Amino acid sequence: MPYSFRHQPPRARVLLRALLLTFLSLTASAEASAQTASFPTAWPAIRLQQDPAPDDEGFFGGSDLDMNQIAAGRPPSAQATTSNMPSYAYAISGIVTDASELPIAQARVTLETRDGEHLAHTYTDSNGRFGFNALEPGAYLVVVEKVDYNTEIKVLEASTAAPTKPAVIELTYNPSAVKGKKRAPWAINTSGPQYTGTADTEPAGSWYVEPWVYNERTPSQGTSTYYMPERIAIGLGHNFELDFWQTIEINNAGYPSAPRGIRASDWGFGNAHVQLKYEWLEDQDTYSFFALPTISTSADIYIPTGNFTTDLHPDAYNTDQFSNGTVDEAVNLLTRKRFKPFEFYAEVGDIIQNPTRVGPGYTFSNGINTVPLGAYERMVDGNLIWFGAALEDVLNSDYGIGWVMEFTGAMQSGSSLFFGAANAPSYSYVWAVPAIEFNWPTTGSLVSTWGFGIGLPIMQSNFPRTYTPTGTVTIYWNGGGPRGE
């Protein structure tokens, strides 16, 4: 007969039962103690389970952890695991209120990376409080949603200590607000195209400085010009942005523009450029190509601030001309569409160039024709149509790493919209401008973006064949608005 518990002596059975019960009690006590010691109960529940569908929370397959379940001794589902979760000591907390500063309970609070990837979500408690802990240091997007309220998005910094004054997020009551989940917009700073402008406007309190340089090289003429437009853009609020550029130029000339063996060089100020931009429409969905894009218009004025017609010395071989000398007015239409990880940019503008008086040695805007010695004339330029379009692929949102393929060009006609027939030569050209980009350094308030490319000639008419290496660094300071609320 096989050995069985039933046939053991009575005293042995009692002893084994006592040992078994003791072992089970100790095991259960240890498990409950370890679980309650590892997870605090201060925050509302954050569940850990696989998202039901990839598009439920965006492109990031996030997981959520139910701390209250674990603290109460109830194990999470079989899918839950903490083995691969780093133990960071940083946390984010806050309070959700209405316009009367009354707390809002059961508002959905989603934690996302700065580029909109879902990390976790929770719900506010009866006091309107929420919190996320075990976070890496840095800034996060916090998206707050509640039926009959507008969705609010804030940028909050993870902290190692409980804040003395919790972040307060105020929801605006709106019965017609869009119901359901709304992903935070994918709106990061990148270098973007080298020539095509952006339709976005800076939020009030935000600004950026953009030192830019491009080296227009014309081998057939032996010339090169370094153009350095130094730009500052300031968010005025109410969808307005004010931009100002002051261009610095360095001109170089060699053979055949100058005699063989002679090199000429000079520098000075070019045009000052002022732009007022208004954003009519904001990108409706930064994850979908088919949603409406950002659309803006701008009014521009160009003012010559450098030498262009007086004191042009023949032995300078045109290196002492730093402007075309016309006061110009322009209107531009700009659009930008994000559909993660891509962005599309486009811009078209019409520039009206006012007549001006030019003298001997003056070189027209096509870079070929000049005013002969001893001649002075009233120059009338034709309408100048400028255009650009670019596709950007952001390979890494955290570091702004990506590539850009851009096409840009201009066409000056033989007549002016306001001043009749033009005596300045007409011309046209189209360039392809491949570029790479990255961000460094990046902090909660300061972001620097870098871009490097080269303009390659595709087509030109009455315009020299040029090759144009370009480089730009843009330094963003985040005030209020999408990047720095």
Answer yes or no: pTM beyond 0.85.
Answer: no
pLDDT band at 41 (very low <50, low <70, confident <90, very high): very low
Amino acid 28: pLDDT: 47
Phi, psi for residue 29 in degrees, rounded to 5: -65, -40
Number of neighbouring beta carbons within 10 Å of residue 303: 12
The residues, ordered by sequence, that sit 6+ positions from 102 with a Cβ below 8 Å of its Cβ are: 128
Residue 353 has pLDDT above 90, yes or no: yes
Using CA atoms of 41, 147, 144, 200 in order, give the dihedral in degrees to the nearest 10: 170
The residues, ordered by sequence, that sit 6+ positions from 400 with a Cβ below 8 Å of its Cβ are: 188, 189, 190, 191, 394, 437, 438, 439, 442, 449
> Cα(297)–Cα(349) distance, rounded to whole angstroms?
9
pLDDT band at 138 (very low <50, low <70, confident <90, very high): confident
Which range among 65-69, 320-324, 409-413, 479-483 has the greatest average pLDDT?
A: 409-413
N-term to C-term CA, the chain: 79
Structure tokens at 209: 């400085």
Render pLDDT for 361-379 as a digit per residue (tens, 0 to 9): 999 999 999 999 888 999 9
Residue 36 has pLDDT above 70, yes or no: no
How would DSSP label each residue in 328-397?
EEEEEEEEEEEETTEEEEEEEEEEEE--EEE-TTPBPTTSS-BPPTT--EEE-PPPEEEEEEEEEEEEET
Residue 37 has pLDDT above 80, yes or no: no
Of 33-37, 105-109, 439-443, minimum mean pLDDT range: 33-37
Of 73-77, 217-221, 331-335, minimum mean pLDDT range: 73-77
CATH class, domain 67-170, is: mainly beta
Amino acid 26: pLDDT: 46
Amino acid 67: pLDDT: 36
pLDDT band at 165 (very low <50, low <70, confident <90, very high): confident
Render pLDDT for 385-429 as a digit per residue (tens, 0 to 9): 999 999 999 999 878 999 999 999 999 999 999 999 999 999 999
Residue 9 has pLDDT above 50, yes or no: no
Closest CA to 358 of 285, 398, 304, 420: 304
CATH number for the domain running over 207-477:
2.40.160.40
Structure tokens at 170: 């105020």
Residue 85 has pLDDT above 50, yes or no: no
Of 39-43, 189-193, 310-314, minimum mean pLDDT range: 39-43
What is the average pLDDT value for the chain, to the nearest integer? Answer: 81
More confident residue, 120 or 434: 434
More confident residue, 41 or 472: 472
What is the longest distance spanned by two Cα atoms in the chain? Answer: 130
Amino acid 84: pLDDT: 42
Amino acid 178: pLDDT: 57
Closest CA to 451 of 432, 438, 467: 438
Asked whether 193 and 404 are in contact (CB, 8 A), the reply is yes
Number of neighbouring beta carbons within 10 Å of residue 9: 8
Amino acid 364: pLDDT: 95
Average pLDDT for 173-182: 64
Amino acid 441: pLDDT: 87
How far apart, in Å, are the Cα atoms of 27 and each of 21, 32, 424? 10, 9, 93
More confident residue, 461 or 136: 461
More confident residue, 478 or 257: 257
In the block, tokens 């360039």 appear at 431
Amino acid 205: pLDDT: 79
Asked whether 92 and 159 are in contact (CB, 8 A), the reply is yes
